[in-house]
Amino acid sequence: MTNSNNDMATNSKMILFIGSNAAVANPVGGMKHALKARDRNGAKIVVVDPIFTKTAAKADMYIRIRPGTDIAFVYGMLHLIFKNGWEDKEMLRTRAYGWEQIRDEAEKWNPEEVANVTGCKVEELETFTRMFATTKPATLLWALGITQHSVGSANTRILAILQLVLGNVGKPGGGCNILRGHDNVQGSTDMNCLADSLPAYYGLGDAAWKHFCKGWGQDYDEFIKRFAVSVKEPRDKKGEPVKNTLFNEYFYHNPTAPEDRNWRNEKGYSLAKWWQGVLESEDTFSSGRLRVLWVQGTGIASMAHTTKIADALDQIDLLVIAEPFLNEVAIMTDRPDGIYVLPSSTQFETEGYCTATNRSAQWRDQIIKPIYESKEDQEIMFLFAKKFGFYDEYVKGMMMDVVDGEVKQVKNDFVWPDDATDEIARTTQSIGNNGRTAARLRKHQQNWEYFDKETLLGSGPVEGEYYGLPWPCWDEKHPGSPNLYDITKPYAEGGMGFRNRFGLEHNGVSQLADESITLPGSKVKGGHPQITKENIESVLGITLTDEERRVMGPSWSMDYSGLIAKKCREAGVVPYGNARARTIVWEFDDQIPKHREPIHSPRWDLVQKYPALGDQARNFRVPTRFISEQQAKDWSKEFPTIMSSMRLVNLSGAGMIERTSKYLAAITPEMFAHVNPKLAAKYGIKDNEFMWIHSPQGTKIKVKCYYSESVTPDRICLPYNFAGVMQGVDLSPRYPEGTKPYIIGESSNTITNYGFDPVTQIAEFNAGLCRLEKA
């Protein structure tokens, strides 16, 4: 999120919700702030969505498009923007790279072709584009309706490119703003609770491991030994060789394969496809099958392909669940043993900080001590570490600090959560987190009343600081950065250009910002590279002492001494550089975003014209099908109806918490699907009758049919907040005594179609096909 909801309410004149039903998302703050913007600023609200949502009901304009066609729609906007000269020419000239390729691709997307592909009307596209392009400042907001696709990463890229082309980046009231549906999603992302990187978005290369080993007080050479795995022939649980696996093919028939696998440099299994690492029927690039699943703080039941998950749960050796409420992954298997449920405490029983979607941190006090036998999350992990003999290494980072420019152990015990917070601040320079110490965050909590609710700027005891110190917050003197990429402010007030991440030039073209792009007060004029030990003297025009050279880290993101940040502050220069925003990602198969039909598309003619990407032989340790699945046959002949998922305002995620409240459960007492009466009549299904929904994967669910004009006759929409029933089978007997929610129901994820994003592996929840049948 480049800006904030408060910024939108205060400054935005034009608001686009695309793939976001903010009126029912959790929390609903995004919608409240949009309505404030309408009242205060006369802002226009437009909703682009396949479903007429509660958000659309409050919009000034609603445009219905077919699921999975967002890129085509935005290219239609860009076509008209370039045709009419509405682009921000100065932004593109001085701060962008590769935009000409976007213009060339947009040239293909005339309004008629956009209408053909997306289902919108030509006049809707033209009217809205003029409105969005000529109203300043304009912001756009998205959520899972954009990301949960086999082209989810490309979807988010094209939206950012749209704002770049229009010059709505780095401006109050502009930006790209993501409405998260859960508390601390941004914080968990910052900590990289993912399989493909380390905390704060550091990669898996050895330089990153060395950086963290230093911060954790660990010897790198000893630390990495636990990751080095000699190649051995994979064997099953009985000790028999596993034949015909991709692992065998790669390592035993590939002369260039390494002799040893250093798993520290390899992605793990993704949350979306972990089950592929368990099932013997699935191919993987790994030296063995997953045997244990530990679930803590995530709704596995809200993942796609629940039948595959259930099969995997039957085969693993051990399932451990640490949750305040029973995670319903526990009842997806009927195994009689090997499942342990550990009661963890709620947020009211613990202390620490969360990071909101706008990058601001919020400190929270412990209201009560954990009740009964429950324990705080960290206590569970500490006990785990003690049991398996690595507790001392696990907690040592909290006893470290920087002394005379070097990281050293300064004490023999730690205070939770303060020392953990300071460890995070100390080690996560890559997001400019160094200034977000426990003392500063506590101070913000204790002085809430001194912050302006619109600008987030503090006064009195928090003078000049932005609430929650939104990162980047480069050092303990920095106020935080409310709006990313704002070049009108000096470094010391949260100003910055675009980050220099991808070299100094590409195809002979400089990747640095134009000479005219200079932060106020900066001693370096125009664009400059990210600051490293090697270039700091030449870029900043300074001379380091021998001692400074000795203790300084290799780059701004790996410098524990704090010297690079100090020298940059003195020069008014942002450590990560001042570059151009690239529209081309030359590492991707699609270097610019391109419309590709969903894996299971209702338009066989468009599948031929806009095919999926080629299959991935290996990503996150598993192969993934794209074009082979898409073009295996015309799926729409057997499964003619489009299927999308939706949120419910009274339930979040898999609903495992809220469905245990009889009051929240009463609002939505059963699982259902919204179906247009014309579509239901085709199958003889009456309102409020049960029906079967079948998927191309051979799975099915039994749910109530709710007549609704919010969906057109070619599509249905159903919530993803239920569990407890699997393909018509009531799983109630599997709930431990006292844990069954007030309501249960089929999970929509049982019929989620096959399809995964090529970068993140998020599943294609929102653009599948299905077939209805009267129950």
Q: Tell me the per-residue pLDDT of 40-61, one tens digit each, with 9 for 90 and over.
A: 999 999 999 999 999 999 999 9
Q: CATH number for the domain including 141? A: 3.40.228.10
Instruction: Give the pLDDT confidence score for residue 228 in this predicted structure.
Output: 64
Q: How far apart are CA 559 and CA 550, in angstroms?
A: 11
Instruction: Give the pLDDT confidence score for residue 308 in this predicted structure.
Output: 96
Residues 136 and 213 in one domain: no
211's enclosing H/E stretch is helix 206-216
Rounded alpha-carbon distances, angstroms, from residue 659 to 27, 317, 728, 733, 746:
17, 29, 19, 17, 13
**Per the domain annotation, does 609 fall within a domain?**
no
Mean pLDDT of the region 481-503: 96
Residues 231 and 171 in one domain: no
Mean pLDDT of the region 294-304: 87
Contact 361, 370 (CB under 8 A): no
Q: Pick the last residue of a domain from 245, 266, 287.
A: 266
Contact 410, 400 (CB under 8 A): yes
Instruction: Give the pLDDT confidence score for residue 259 in this predicted structure.
Output: 47
Q: How many residues does the chain have?
A: 775
Q: Pick the last residue of a domain from 266, 294, 317.
A: 266
Instruction: Give the pLDDT confidence score for residue 646 in this predicted structure.
Output: 92
Residues 250 and 144 in one domain: no
pLDDT tens sequence across 402-445: 999 999 999 999 999 999 999 999 999 999 999 999 999 999 99
Mean pLDDT of the region 289-310: 90
Residues 714 and 678 in one domain: yes
Instruction: Give the pLDDT confidence score for residue 368 in this predicted structure.
Output: 97
Nearest to 770 by CA among 670, 675, 646, 668: 675
Q: Has residue 231 got a pLDDT over 60?
A: no
Q: How far apart are CA 706 and CA 675, in angstroms?
A: 6
Residues 32 and 81 in one domain: yes
Query: How many structural domains are present in the chain?
Result: 3
Residues 91 and 130 in one domain: yes
Instruction: Give the pLDDT confidence score for residue 239 in this predicted structure.
Output: 62
**CA torsion angle 695 697 698 700 (round to 10):** -40
Structure tokens at 598: 């969903």
Mean pLDDT of the region 688-708: 98
What is the rounded radius of gyration, in angstroms, for the C-alpha atoms of the chain? 26
Q: How far apart are CA 520 and CA 489, in angstroms?
A: 6
| Average pLDDT score over the chain | 93
**CA torsion angle 685 689 695 700 (round to 10):** -140
How would residue 234 be classed by pLDDT, with cut points 50, 70 and 90? low
How would residue 252 be classed by pLDDT, with cut points 50, 70 and 90? very low
* Residue indicated by tokens 């152990």: 409
Residues 252 and 142 in one domain: no
380 Cα distance to chain centroid: 26
Q: CATH number for the domain including 642? A: 2.40.40.20
**Per the domain annotation, does 367 fall within a domain?**
no
Least confident of 81-95, 193-207, 241-255, 741-755: 241-255
**Per the domain annotation, does 423 fall within a domain?**
no
pLDDT tens sequence across 144-172: 999 999 999 999 999 999 999 999 999 99
Structure tokens at 292: 């244990």
**Per the domain annotation, does 508 fall within a domain?**
no
DSSP assignments along 341-370, one per residue: EEEB--GGG--EEEE-TTS-EEEE---SPP
Instruction: Give the pLDDT confidence score for residue 246 in this predicted structure.
Output: 53
Q: What are phi and psi of 442, to 5 degrees?
A: -60, -40
For residue 147, how many other CB atoms are within 10 A of its CB?
Answer: 19
Instruction: Give the pLDDT confidence score for residue 689 in this predicted structure.
Output: 98
**Per the domain annotation, does 739 fall within a domain?**
yes
Residues 218 and 170 in one domain: no
Contacts of 19 (CB under 8 A, 6+ apart): 48, 49, 70, 142, 143, 144, 145, 146, 147, 155, 766
Q: How far apart are CA 395 and CA 385, in angstroms?
A: 9
Mean pLDDT of the region 676-705: 98
**Per the domain annotation, does 133 fall within a domain?**
yes
For residue 688, how many other CB atoms are within 10 A of its CB?
Answer: 11
Structure tokens at 340: 């342990």
Range of the domain at 642: 635-774
**Per the domain annotation, does 257 fall within a domain?**
yes
Q: Pick the last residue of a domain from 266, 296, 314.
A: 266
Q: Has residue 219 got a pLDDT over 70?
A: yes
Residues 219 and 104 in one domain: no
Amino acid (one-letter) located at 106: A
pLDDT tens sequence across 564-616: 999 999 999 999 999 999 999 999 999 999 999 999 999 999 999 999 999 99
Residues 674 and 769 in one domain: yes
pLDDT tens sequence across 451-477: 999 999 999 999 999 999 999 999 999
**Per the domain annotation, does 647 fall within a domain?**
yes
Nearest to 774 by CA among 662, 696, 679: 679
Residues 147 and 256 in one domain: no
Residues 140 and 222 in one domain: no
Q: Has residue 287 got a pLDDT over 70?
A: no
